Amino acid sequence: MANPTNNSESPKVDLQTSSKRRRKKSIVWEHFTIETIDAGCTRARCMQCKKSFAYISGSKLAGTSHLKRHIALGICPMSQVNNKSDQIVPFTPLPINISQDDNVFSRKRSKITSGSTSSPFHHDIAKMIIMHEYPLTIVQNAAFLKFVKSFQPEFPALSLEAIERDCVGLYQRERQQLLNLVSSIRGQVNLSLDMCATDQSVGYVFITGQFVDDDWKLHRKILSVCLLPFPDSESAFSHAVLSCVADWNLENKLLGVTLDETFANKAVRKNLEHLLSVRNPLIVNGKFLTGSCYSRILCHLAQDALGVISETVKKVRDSVKYVVTVKSCQERFNDIRVQLQVPSAKSLILDDQSQWNTTYCMLVAACELKEVFSCLDTFDSNYRIIFTMDEWKQVEILCTYLKLLLDAADILTGPTYPTANAFFHEAWKIQLELKNASVSEDAFVKRLTRPMHERFNKYWKDCFLIFSIAVVMDPRFKMKLVEFSFTRIYGEDGDHWIKDVSVGVNELFLNYVVKMLPPPTFFVNGNEGFEEETILHCEIVKTESENEIFLSTSDELSDFDVFLSGISNQGNMKTELDQYLEESVLPRMQEFDVLGWWKSNRKKYPTLSKFASDILSIPISTKFQDSVFDIKCNKMDRYRCSLKPSTVEALVCAKDWMQNGFSGLDRSPDFSSSSSASLFVKTEL
C-alpha cells in the first residue's frame, strides 16, 4: 500500500483537502457537487442542469468564479424552468453580504456607476426600452427595481443620463451598419415623408428610405426623424429632406419622393420639386414626386362612403353596442338567431371608429344578422331601434364598395412591404368601378360613389404613370396589362393613356442608358508635355502638336461602341427595353418574386434591370402596416415631446431597424407586426 506521505500523492491530497474546505465556505457548493473522475481530475457538476465543469486537473485548481457565473447570471437552463414539470423554479440569488472577491459583479459596478456602457445589463435594458417603447424613467421606477433586484440584489442603480446614452449609443452603432449598406448599393434610394403632430405647435417628419440592395432584396427603413419648429412653413420639409440627404450621403442616389396630401399642399410640393430637381433631373417634370399617399387616399374614400349614410351607420353601431355590451341581451340575441336558423357564422363586433376596416367588419356582420335585429324588439322591449329594408340595402351597397377599398389596402398589411408593381392591379380596378358607379342609374349608388370617384380620379391622374411603369417591369404583364386596363377604363380614349405610358417608359429608360455610359474624355493639343486636368468629369490633355479639341478614348470611337452596346442588341438596333417588351409575358402565378426574376436576368438586361430595381422600390404609401386603416393622424405623446429631438430620433429609428431584422441584435417575433408609429397617439384629421 502506498505511503500517504509519498511526494507524488501529496499535491492531490492537499487539493482535495482544500476543496473540502471551500465546499464548506463558498456559496456555489449549495448548487454543485464534486465528482472525482480519476486520480488527477476532479469536476464540479451542477445539481440542476447536471452540466459538468472543470475544478481540479492535476496540480491546477480552476477555482469557482465560472461556477458562480453559471448560477448568478442565470446561465443554467434549469434555473428558471424545470424540464420535467414545466414549472418555474425559484432562483436563489447570491447573498448580499458576499465578499468583494467572490462577487462576479463587483468589477462591473464601478464601470456602471461611472457611466460606461460596457455592462451587458445596460445594453439589454436599452434594447428593452427601445423595443417595448418604455419611458427612460423606467430604470428609476420602484416596481422595476424591485423586480430586477429579485433576480440580482447587487443590480446597480442607473441614472437617466446613462440609459439615454446607452439608447443613443445603440442607435449610432446600428446607424453605421445601415449607412454602410446604403453606401454600398448601386441603385437609387426613394424617400417617403410622414408627418407627426404635437401639442406644442411643432411637428416631426418621419423620412423613410426604400431601396433594393445588391442582393436584390427590398429594404424599407426609417432614416431620419426631424423636428419641424414651423411645420406650416413651405420650406420646412425641404430643409428636412436636405438634411436627410446629406446625413445619408444620398446626393447622387435620390430618385423619388412620396408625400402625404394631408400636409403636402401645392406650395410644399413645388418647393420640394424645385429643390430635388437639382439632385435628380428626372424629378424636374414631377415624374417621381408623388404628392399623395396610397393608404391615406383609401382612408379618405372610406370616410367619404361612410359619411353618405352616417346616420344609418350610427344606428347599426348602437344596435351592436346594445347586444354585445350586456350579457343578457347577447344571450337573447343568440337564442333568436338559433330559432331563425340564420346561416351566418359571423359574430357581432363593435368597431373601433379610428380604424375604418373595423367599421366595415361590423357592418358586414350586422347585415348577415339583419333578420335577428328585425325580431329583437319583439323579445326585448328595451330595444327600440328599427331598420327599414332600404336602410339595410344601403348598408349592403356600402359594404360592397368598402370591400373594394379593403382589398386594395390589404396588400400593405403583409409581413413585407410590396414592390411598386403590386399597386397597379388594385388601383385600376378602383378607378374602373368608381367611374362606372358614378354614372349609375341607381340614385343611391350614384350619390355614394360620385364624391369617391372625384377624389380618386385626381389621385389616379397624379400617380397612374408610376403605377403603370412599375407594372410594365413585371414580366407577367409588361405593356399588355396597361393596354387591357386603360381600354377597359376609357374605351377608345384609352390609346391616349397607353401612349403616355409608352413614352414615359422609353424616356426614363433612355435616361438610364445615358447615365450608364462612361464620361467622355477630351484631348487638347498644346506646346507643353502631357498634362491632365479633370473638369466636369472630362479629361483635358495637352500635346505638343496642333491646338484642337476632339472626343476620344484609346481608339477614338470606343465611346461610340459603348453607346451602341447600351441601346442595341447584336446589330438589330433594339434596346433592352424593346427586347423585353417583345418577348412573351410569363404565366401568371400568385407567388412571384419580381426582384428575384430581374436578379436572374440582370446579365441579359444590364441597364434595364437597374432601371427596374429603382422603379420597383418606389414607395407608394407613407404608412406602416399597423396604421394603414387609421382615420386619425399621428400625434406624439407628451412624454416623447419632452425628450431631446436627437433622443426621439434614436428611439424611433433603432426600434424600426431592430424589429425589421436589419440589426444583428436578437429580436423577438412579438415585434414583427408593429411599427414605430405606435410610439404615438392619434388625432383627428
3-state secondary structure 88-113: ECCCCCCCCCCCCCCCCCHHHHHHHH
pLDDT in tens, 175-202: 999 999 999 999 999 999 998 888 888 9
Average pLDDT over residues 394-400: 97
| CA–CA distance, 578 with 111 (Å, rounded to integer) | 66
How much is the pLDDT for 148?
Answer: 86
Residues in the chain: 685
SS (H, E, C) 473-505: CCCCCHHHHHHHHHHHHHHHHHHHHHHHHHHHH
How much is the pLDDT for 288?
Answer: 66
Average pLDDT over residues 221-240: 89
pLDDT confidence of 270, banded at 50, 70, 90?
confident
Angle between helices 558-567 and 494-516 (to 10 degrees): 150
Cβ atoms of residues 186 and 516 within 8 Å? no
pLDDT confidence of 39, banded at 50, 70, 90?
confident
Cβ atoms of residues 22 and 29 within 8 Å? yes
Could you count the other beta carbons within 10 Å of the beta carbon of residue 90? 9
Q: For the ranges 39-43, 387-391, 622-626, which has the lowest average pLDDT? A: 39-43
Is residue 569 classed as helix, strand or coil in its secondary structure? coil
How much is the pLDDT for 43?
Answer: 84
**Is the pLDDT reported for residue 524 higher than 60?**
no
How much is the pLDDT for 51?
Answer: 81
Across the strands, what pairs with 193? 207
**Is the pLDDT reported for residue 340 higher than 80?**
yes
How much is the pLDDT for 536?
Answer: 36
Locus of grid cell 380620379: 457
| CA–CA distance, 29 with 76 (Å, rounded to integer) | 15
**Is the pLDDT reported for residue 674 higher than 50?**
no
Q: List the strands of the sheet with 549-551, edge to edge.
A: 532-535, 538-543, 522-525, 549-551
Cβ atoms of residues 624 and 676 within 8 Å? yes
Average pLDDT over residues 117-123: 65
How much is the pLDDT for 517?
Answer: 74
Q: For the ranges 106-120, 404-418, 502-516, which has the lowest average pLDDT? A: 106-120
Mean pLDDT of the chain: 79
Across the strands, what pairs with 210? 190, 220
How much is the pLDDT for 215?
Answer: 94
| CA–CA distance, 145 with 168 (Å, rounded to integer) | 22
Residue percentage of the chain with pLDDT more than 70: 74
pLDDT confidence of 562, banded at 50, 70, 90?
low
How much is the pLDDT for 516?
Answer: 76
**Is the pLDDT reported for residue 432 higher than 80?**
yes
Max avg pLDDT among 6-20, 413-427, 539-553: 413-427
**Is the pLDDT reported for residue 322 higher than 60?**
yes
Pairing of strands 218-228, 522-525: unpaired
Average pLDDT over residues 333-359: 91
**Residue with the larger pLDDT of the pair 157 and 510:** 510
Cβ atoms of residues 44 and 22 within 8 Å? no
How much is the pLDDT for 79?
Answer: 55
How much is the pLDDT for 20?
Answer: 46
| CA–CA distance, 603 with 617 (Å, rounded to integer) | 20
How much is the pLDDT for 380?
Answer: 87
Average pLDDT over residues 301-330: 94
**Is the pLDDT reported for residue 677 higher than 50?**
no
Q: Can you give the pTM of this predicted structure?
A: 0.73
pLDDT confidence of 497, banded at 50, 70, 90?
very high
Cβ atoms of residues 115 and 169 within 8 Å? no
pLDDT confidence of 257, banded at 50, 70, 90?
confident
Cβ atoms of residues 506 and 522 within 8 Å? no
Helix (H) or strand (E) holding 192: strand 189-197
Q: What is the largest CA-CA distance in the chain?
A: 115
Q: How far apart are the first and last CA of the chain?
A: 95
Q: List the strands of the sheet with 41-46, edge to edge.
A: 32-38, 41-46, 52-57, 60-61
SS (H, E, C) 632-671: CEEEECHHHHHCCHHHHHHHHHHHHHHHCCCCCCCCCHHH
- Give, in order, the Cα–Cα distances in Å from 566 to each of 3, 571, 598: 93, 11, 17
Helix (H) or strand (E) holding 55: strand 52-57
How much is the pLDDT for 173?
Answer: 93
C-alpha cell at 26: 463558498
Average pLDDT over residues 631-645: 89
DSSP result, 152-197: -TTPPP--HHHHHHHHHHHHHHHHHHHHHHHHH-SS-EEEEEEEEE
Cα-to-chain-centroid distance, residue 159: 31
Q: Return all residues near 19 (Cβ < 8 A) that are at least 6 apart.
A: 34, 42, 55, 56
| CA–CA distance, 192 with 622 (Å, rounded to integer) | 6
Q: Name the residue among 521, 551, 525 with its Cα closest to residue 535.
A: 521
Max avg pLDDT among 193-197, 287-291, 406-410, 665-669: 406-410
| CA–CA distance, 362 with 367 (Å, rounded to integer) | 9
Average pLDDT over residues 638-642: 91
C-alpha cell at 189: 434610394
pLDDT in tens, 568-621: 444 457 899 999 999 999 998 878 999 999 999 999 999 999 999 999 999 999
The radius of gyration of the chain from alpha carbons, rounded to an integer in Å, stands at 34
Q: Return all residues near 471 (Cβ < 8 A) that are at least 6 apart.
A: 421, 424, 425, 477, 481, 482
Cα-to-chain-centroid distance, residue 489: 34
DSSP 630: B
In this structure, the dihedral spanned by the alpha carbons of residues 331, 336, 341 and 346, taken in order and rounded to 10 degrees, is -50
Locus of grid cell 403583409: 414
Locus of grid cell 347586444: 323
pLDDT confidence of 77, banded at 50, 70, 90?
low
Across the strands, what pairs with 561? none
Cα-to-chain-centroid distance, residue 166: 23
pLDDT in tens, 528-556: 443 443 333 333 344 444 444 343 444 44
Average pLDDT over residues 459-469: 93
In this structure, the dihedral spanned by the alpha carbons of residues 673, 676, 678 and 684, taken in order and rounded to 10 degrees, is -120
**Residue with the larger pLDDT of the pair 126 and 85:** 126
**Is the pLDDT reported for residue 394 higher than 90?**
yes
**Residue with the larger pLDDT of the pair 339 and 105:** 339
DSSP 434: H
How much is the pLDDT for 671?
Answer: 32
pLDDT confidence of 314, banded at 50, 70, 90?
very high
**Is the pLDDT reported for residue 629 higher than 90?**
yes
232 burial level (CB within 10 Å; 0-12, 13-18, 19+): exposed
**Residue with the larger pLDDT of the pair 147 and 118:** 147
Beta strands in 514-587 (DSSP E): 522-525, 532-535, 538-543, 549-551
Cβ atoms of residues 586 and 607 within 8 Å? no
C-alpha cell at 195: 408627418
